[in-house]
Amino acid sequence: MAGSPPPSQEDDSLYLHAELLPNIRHITLYISLPARVASDGLQISLSESRRAVSVSLPGPQHDLSETMKLPARVSEASRRALSAGAAGREGHAGADGRREYSFRMQVDDGEETLAGTDELTGGFVPWTARDLSPVTRLRCLQCERVVLEGDKDKHNQAGWVWKDLPSGNWAEMMDFWHCHKPDPPPGEAQSEDPNAVVKGYGAANQVVATPGTVLVDVATFLVADTDCKGLMQVQSGDADGSSQPDTVTCVNCDSSVGVEDTVAHGWRLFKTSFAANVEGEAVPESAWESHSTETVVAAQLLEFIERESARRFVVHCGCKDGILIWVFNPDLRYSNSSAHHSIAAQRAMKVFFQRLDDADATLHPDRGKASSLSLEELKLPTASFAALTAALDGSNAMLPVSAREFREWKVGILHRFERPSVQQT
């Protein structure tokens, strides 16, 4: 998990972190060890495949060693560069009472460092329509009560129909089409294009929740309320009179799992609030899968980047405070050896972030104050915003001390969803 704590000042363990910089084909390796432990004899070596690094510090009082996989295969020259270890280096003394070394290694010429073309295919989105089956069930992540499953006695004899919703700018494109579509040839009567209804760009065409069909977007499932069981709609009851959608909650544990969509006449269920069983009833407990908040939020940010070419976002949950996020690297491969963290290379995005005391003032500054035209807004459910904040703070603490800040920004990592078929081995 990104929130795994780094070694504390009292911890005598080695700590390794490596990041792939694909544009310059380098891997930066960080080695952290307690400052009170003498670094004489620090040994660094590459595996035979040059895909893993081993660091050891033998000694009568401390016998430390750690091995970690690298995000990519490095060159043979990197072996010679590392063989000398930390000899002659003072290292960077951090405020956490640890000494830190960093090394640059060249990626092997034959190694493919690009992550692929997922940005063009939506491969960063967890749970698309193609991932789900007619017998898929959804259950509340908190209390494990099944809330969505096929009812063979009603409309759903053939099971669920899953459909992906169009991209977020679909409505804007339709408005543009109706304003700028070509005039009919002279002498022909003005009539509605018969293809408009079939292809979905007709003026009367809109997305509406339909019983038996689940519409899927990046972060939610759009369902008809009659298809759900064990869920109820609760009025928002805003004291300030603001127009907020009603909340959908689980009747068993009272957790918030979605909101009403009045335009689509249905409920939007948050992907982060559910676990899914794609294979149906006769499967083991391990068949249930869920996705973390940071993975879903990362997909939302990537979708904005793909659609709007934006890199800076104001993220909030409707309250005054928020987070300003700058997506510095949308596709990062990294490895980390901190406790409870996988030593295998992982796919993520590197972000810079700042806390905002007034998110609305950043989005809509007063007259006379400079405004940024490149800012996009992302509003999250309250629980998702809290989970995102914790993930960013946890990943910042996971990073080496010298890599935790960039000017006035804090540095964080958000894990991306990656389909098994495209994962790097």
Q: Which domains, and CATH codes, for the chain? A: 15-106 (2.60.40), 127-181+201-287 (2.170.150), 292-422 (no CATH)
Q: What is the pLDDT of residue 3?
A: 47
Q: What is the pLDDT of residue 249?
A: 96
Q: For 342-394, write each residue's pLDDT tens digit.
A: 667 899 999 999 999 999 999 988 776 656 668 999 999 999 999 999 999 99
pLDDT < 70 stretches in the chain: 1-12, 38-39, 60-62, 85-91, 94-96, 113-122, 150-158, 167-205, 237-243, 282-283, 339-343, 368-373, 421-425
Cα gap 345→418, rounded to integer Å: 12
Q: What is the pLDDT of residue 424?
A: 43
DSSP 345-400: -EEEEEEEEEEES-HHHHHSPPTTS---TTEEEEE--HHHHHHHHHHHHHHHHHS-
DSSP 20-33: EETTTTEEEEEEEE
Q: Quick one: tokens of 358?
A: 């007034």
Q: What is the pLDDT of residue 23?
A: 83
Cross-strand partners of 98: 34
Q: Pairing mode, if any, of strands 43-46 and 98-106? A: unpaired
DSSP 179-205: HHPPPPPTTSPP---HHHHHHT-STT-
Q: What is the pLDDT of residue 175?
A: 53
Global pTM value: 0.84
Half-sphere exposure of 269 (CA within 13 A, CB side): 29
C-alpha of 70 from chain center: 22
Q: For 104-128, write each residue's pLDDT tens digit.
A: 999 999 887 654 545 445 689 999 9
